[in-house]
Amino acid sequence: MQQPRGPPRPSLAEPFIDMVADSPTVQDSHRQSQLASSSAAIDLVMVFSLRSGGEVKHPERFTQAKFVKRMLGLCRGKKPVVNELKSVFRTDKCFLDDSGRPFDLSPPLGQDAPIPPTNAAMIAIHLDDDDDNALAQSELERKMACLQAEYVAYVGSANDTTETKFCELVVRSMAKRLQLTCGLTVRMFKSKRGDEIIMTVKADEGDLKVEAERTEYRLQTSNKPFDAIHTSKLEAVARDVGDVVMAESKAHLNNIQRHSTTSQIAPEPEMDPLLISHGKVHHMKLHTALENSATWTLFRPVDRIRLTNSIINRHLNLDALKATTSLQDAFALHDTAALDALKTSWALNKAMTSQPIGAIRDYFGEKIALYFVWLELYTKMLVMPAVFGIAIYVLDVFTTAHSRTLKIAFAVAIVVWSTLFTELWKRKSAIYNVAWGTDEFNIKSVPRTQFRGVRRLNPVDNTHQMWVQSTVRARWRIRASFLVVFVMVLIVLVALTGLFYLKHLSANMDSPKWKAWAAVGVSALNSVQITVLNMVR
């Protein structure tokens, strides 16, 4: 159980409040400290660029058409086509007005339909005879009109604007979608130098629960994976608390359990009697969370970060915004209280015999926690070869016994030790994977924003995916890439061969003076080779 950053509230679409114009400023040197002081109420931080003066050299980059193209990811061509990898807005829910309602092209009663001021080439969309294509083009026209109206509402006209206004417009459009589409709480302020807009994002408890249910997010709720283990545990509890307490706990659970449609009580539920009868003593945090859900939460800090990112990535494409340099970075802040607790129980632990793996997992996640599990096992297993190696060294130095047999025995022991360590780690990692629910953990790969491909149906599950476009030009690019890599590898092999040959020549020199200078020269050549190859890479 974790204490939440604030009381949960329902996720309702409230009118968007623009905070860029009158936002407070913060000194850059104190930005991190101020954010860290309020990190308990922040799930994510986004840093946007706020540049100026670019309209002097490149006025064509800060137009209404450029804003629509950037946010929709439009490709060049006779008809506007959306590139999903470059589109910042992923879902139709992103195209709405300031009140949270879907943007509608139809005018109010008694008014003529407004014609959004824009470039004539952008609205000249030719509808095909096919109904599906016509509907898709009509929907694209609605999205473009929504962004055009948003541009006019902020800039004041459809004319070109300054780079500063353009950057503020991009940030404002992102904050609007984060509030109204994603249902998140957003706060913005400018840096003291005026070159950044910092946005803090916080998810409510209800939003996290809905997202966890939608994505089937795994939460640690029980450590009873096997029925036999749970049965033996109940028997042990019954012996400790007595039959009367067990009967009262079962009766309580059966009373609060819902009845089926046939008005029959469902089978006896799986339960832990101590949670009901002695919860305040034995399960204090879980008991408190169930009794007072407004002040406690089931979500760990790492769960909040993952679910908040999932909410944002469902509707917004942050990678596309980073590719345009509008978004510098999006990251989560450290929790000072949690770090202090880890420092006390982990970093400053004088015993150093074990680590708080559960606390590490709750804060950093399963991936980093599993690394420290491996590191702990590896460090403890190194004690045996270290002791064996020290013993052989002492015997070799302080005795006249022949050490060849001991060294052979040490080599055999190291082979046995490495095999033993590998098998023990397999067993330990399997235990943690089952306990943490990561035995079916999959990494979702997303194509790069710069990837160029064709959209097709996956032949396995019929889902849409971007596929490599097989053309003559693409094949020649692949061949050229292989050729360049082969030449670079060949250069490295030739350079290494030459260095080894020079070392061989320097070792066979008769003069000690020239031998020393030759060794220095070979080392210098090796350093030059590494520097040149790093520059080429």
In this structure, the answer to whether residues 47 and 176 fall within a common structural domain is yes
Q: Which two tokens stand for residue 369?
A: 């926690």
Q: Which two tokens stand for residue 8?
A: 């949960």
> Using alpha carbons only, how large is the chain's radius of gyration in Å?
32
In this structure, the answer to whether residues 369 and 425 fall within a common structural domain is yes
- Domains in the chain, number: 4
* Closest listed residue to residue 307, CA positions, set 368, 366, 367, 219: 219
Q: Is the distance from CB of 147 to CB of 72 less than 8 angstroms?
A: yes
Q: Report if residue 321 sits inside a domain.
A: no
pLDDT at residue 228 in the model: 53
Given pLDDT bands bounded at 50, 70 and 90, which one contains residue 201?
A: very high
Eight-class DSSP state of 182: S
Top pLDDT among 116 and 479 is at 479
In this structure, the answer to whether residues 339 and 431 fall within a common structural domain is yes
Q: Which of 49-58, 67-76, 130-139, 208-217 has the lowest mean pLDDT?
A: 130-139
- Torsion angles phi and psi, residue 98, rounded to 5: -70, -15
Q: Report if residue 327 sits inside a domain.
A: no
Given pLDDT bands bounded at 50, 70 and 90, which one contains residue 491?
A: confident
One-letter amino acid at 191 equals: S
Top mean pLDDT of 31-45, 130-144, 307-321, 520-534 is at 307-321
Q: Which residues contact 384 (CB under 8 A, 6 or more apart)?
A: 417
Quickly tell me which residue has 């350079």 as its tokens: 495
Q: Report if residue 457 sits inside a domain.
A: no
In this structure, the answer to whether residues 241 and 177 fall within a common structural domain is no
Q: Helix, strand or coil for residue 120? A: helix
pLDDT at residue 494 in the model: 86
Domain endpoint, select from 393, 411, 436: 436
- Domain of residue 380 covers 335-436
In this structure, the answer to whether residues 129 and 257 fall within a common structural domain is no
396-425 residue pLDDT tens: 777 766 677 888 888 999 999 999 999 999
pLDDT at residue 529 in the model: 79
- The end-to-end CA distance of the chain, in Å, is 48
In this structure, the answer to whether residues 207 and 104 fall within a common structural domain is yes
pLDDT at residue 272 in the model: 52
Does residue 28 have a pLDDT over 80? no
Q: Report if residue 359 sits inside a domain.
A: yes
In this structure, the answer to whether residues 60 and 190 fall within a common structural domain is yes
Torsion sign (Cα): 284, 290, 296, 302:
positive
Q: Report if residue 92 sits inside a domain.
A: yes
Distance CA(325)–CA(327), nearest Å, equals 5
- Identify the helix (H) or strand (E) that includes residue 422: helix 404-436
Given pLDDT bands bounded at 50, 70 and 90, which one contains residue 223?
A: low
Given pLDDT bands bounded at 50, 70 and 90, which one contains residue 106?
A: low
Distance CA(434)–CA(240), nearest Å, equals 29
* Closest listed residue to residue 86, CA positions, set 424, 414, 453, 403: 453
Does residue 83 have a pLDDT over 50? yes
Q: How far is CA 191 from CA 49, 54, 144, 185, 195, in A?
A: 10, 19, 32, 20, 7
In this structure, the answer to whether residues 283 and 395 fall within a common structural domain is no
Q: Which two tokens stand for residue 447?
A: 């194509």
Q: Report if residue 110 sits inside a domain.
A: yes
Q: Which residues contact 230 (CB under 8 A, 6 or more apart)?
A: 224, 270
Mean predicted lDDT score pLDDT of the chain: 78
* Closest listed residue to residue 431, CA positions, set 501, 387, 377, 473: 377
pLDDT at residue 339 in the model: 87
Q: Which two tokens stand for residue 16?
A: 């968007």
Does residue 379 have a pLDDT over 70? yes
Distance CA(522)–CA(498), nearest Å, equals 10
Given pLDDT bands bounded at 50, 70 and 90, which one contains residue 98?
A: confident
In this structure, the answer to whether residues 45 and 163 fall within a common structural domain is yes
Q: Report if residue 352 sits inside a domain.
A: yes
pLDDT at residue 266 in the model: 42
Q: Report if residue 446 sits inside a domain.
A: no
pLDDT at residue 44 in the model: 93
Q: Helix, strand or coil for residue 123? A: helix
297-355 residue pLDDT tens: 778 888 999 999 999 999 999 999 999 999 999 999 888 888 888 888 888 877 778 88
pLDDT at residue 425 in the model: 95
In this structure, the answer to whether residues 263 and 185 fall within a common structural domain is no
Given pLDDT bands bounded at 50, 70 and 90, which one contains residue 130?
A: low
Q: Residues in the chain, how many?
A: 537
In this structure, the answer to whether residues 159 and 240 fall within a common structural domain is no
Domain endpoint, select from 436, 462, 484: 436
Q: Which of 72-81, 200-209, 255-264, 388-397 has the lowest mean pLDDT?
A: 255-264
pLDDT at residue 13 in the model: 37
Does residue 165 have a pLDDT over 80? yes
pLDDT at residue 528 in the model: 84
- Identify the helix (H) or strand (E) that includes residue 320: helix 318-323
Q: Given the DSSP bridges, would you call strands 25-26 and 185-191 parallel, antiparallel or unpaired?
A: parallel
In this structure, the answer to whether residues 275 and 379 fall within a common structural domain is no
Eight-class DSSP state of 287: H
Given pLDDT bands bounded at 50, 70 and 90, which one contains residue 46?
A: very high
